[in-house]
Amino acid sequence: MHNSVPILPVGITGMEKVKKGLFWMLLHRPKAMVNIGCPFYLPPANDKLTKAELAELANYIMEHIAELLPPEYQGHYARCRD
């Protein structure tokens, strides 16, 4: 974790309907929704991260992506909102 670079979260829904192949997709035109969030930075960390710290950072990223998805897609990454 030497560089502080922005992470751009992107949430994509509707792609699960495209699994039938290109020909089916051309006939039925499923709609995919792409939501692009605001860039964010990871909190500062040590040079050597433990597995637990890496998992915590991954959850932090996934929570930002989940905010861009409808509630039914957020799973356990959904944050409780007031």
pTM greater than 0.85: no
Bridge partners (DSSP) of residue 34 are: 12
The CA distance from 51 to 45, in Å, is 13
Domains of the chain, residue spans = 10-77
Instruction: Return the structure tokens found at 62.
Output: 């996934």
Per-residue pLDDT 10s for the chain (82 aa) are 556 889 999 999 987 766 666 777 677 777 889 999 999 998 887 778 899 999 999 999 999 999 999 988 888 887 755 3
